[in-house]
Structure 1
């Protein structure tokens, strides 16, 4: 399958990003590498386009993991973390997958746990309503202050940064997203999350691939000491993952 490397905008020597065209043809050899569980998940999609994109994403993921780990793609085995985040069972290689419409993104690292998210830029007429539910008060105010023409881009910058952070710590739906700040501007920064397992710090950066794709990458830093504040108790609904 065809995958394309992306050049990160800041220094991240232990990390690679790969872009996948999810609408490309999936060769039979790549399809055969999927597990029985992946094939079963693919069959559950109602629409053929969604089924094809799922297959393309996971076939490309196995191809990349196989190339970087030295294992055959069809022999790769995965284990789930406490909150369901998948990891390789027998290789010291961290990865994360995200997809939006016809674009897929895989992040790989030989050192750091990571999370990645990608969104195709598109009109978001309900951006302010979503921000009220999912963003921190400061982020909600910053988005409202954006000029209308720039608001959709700012919304997706914040949205992808939230998801990348949650995916990096592997906590997903168990942590409300309005309890930590990532901002609506695509600037690199360190983000602190308080999780049920303690305080986590992440190095966060945003990037663009062309004019229509917004992405974010979060790298997990060494664990901090436990903290008493528990933002997971927030009443806001958690952000739903896209991948």
Structure 2
């Protein structure tokens, strides 16, 4: 595997991983028995090798950031299945798409990251109907046809990064919050029952043919503390 550090985004440190490059033996040896058990479940060798490379890269990256040997790092799952370090301290997230993976690390706040290789998306319209807000669907439809697939993946990765940063995953309705279909930095608000989650969101693309997004938790507030100023359509659609 090859690990390349990228410029920081949303005050998070980022690394891009080539999952088809063979990892060093010591990196592979750092995986836990539970990670090996998960790897053995893959039917196809290529998928198994990419899983091993992604998790070896994650351990190597976290070890370099916290000073603990990669093989000594321990993980546990949060209430909605998001992995966290037992040792605490660093917040991290991992995403992968085919031969690439993206790792984000943040010292002070929860982080979520998503990566998708740019590719034809014949089912983009149907997926948008299911997962995007009405405003986002209108913004997507208003774009020239040749720009819609990139914009769809931009919005998709932004939704995923935000959900992963909250740690709540798909327990949150993806249509209930706006991230926009363009890659500008913005603050996103997500209502989660009695709480309002505020996130800093940014996107970047053309990283080895991938669309990427990273979200960092800013605050969890009581829903009654949410800003009362209504957002106009132009603010929440782009």
Aligned length: 226
Query: What residue in structure 1 maps to residue 179 of structure 2?
Result: 182
What are the superposed Cα offsets for residues 5-29 of structure 1, whole Å, 9 maximum, x if unpaired?
Answer: 1114x6x44x200000000102221
Query: What residue in structure 1 maps to residue 4 of structure 2?
Result: 4
Instruction: Find 2:54's aligned residue among 54, 57, 73.
Output: 57
Query: What residue in structure 1 maps to residue 17 of structure 2?
Result: 20
What are the superposed Cα offsets for residues 208-240 of structure 1, whole Å, 9 maximum, x if unpaired?
Answer: 1436110001010122213599xxxxxxxxxxx
What are the superposed Cα offsets for residues 146-168 of structure 1, whole Å, 9 maximum, x if unpaired?
Answer: 11111110000000000000000
Long gaps (5+) in structure 2 = 227-238
- Say if 2:7 and 2:14, in contact at 8 Å, map to a contact too: yes
What are the superposed Cα offsets for residues 188-224 of structure 1, whole Å, 9 maximum, x if unpaired?
Answer: 1110001135110001011114361100010101222
Query: What residue in structure 1 maps to residue 230 of structure 2?
Result: none
Query: What residue in structure 2 maps to residue 101 of structure 1?
Result: 98
Query: What residue in structure 1 maps to residue 68 of structure 2?
Result: 71
TM, length-normalised to structure 2: 0.91
Q: Secondary structure at the match of 2:222?
A: coil
Structure 1 stretches of 4+ moved >4 Å: none
Query: What residue in structure 2 maps to residue 154 of structure 1?
Result: 151
Long gaps (5+) in structure 1 = 230-243
Instruction: Find 1:214's aligned residue among 211, 214, 236.
Output: 211
Within the alignment, does 1:90 sit opposite 2:87 as a pair? yes
Higher strand share: 2
CA drift of 1:142 comes to 1.0
- Say if 2:201 and 2:213, in contact at 8 Å, map to a contact too: yes
- Say if 2:194 and 2:222, in contact at 8 Å, map to a contact too: no
TM, length-normalised to structure 1: 0.89
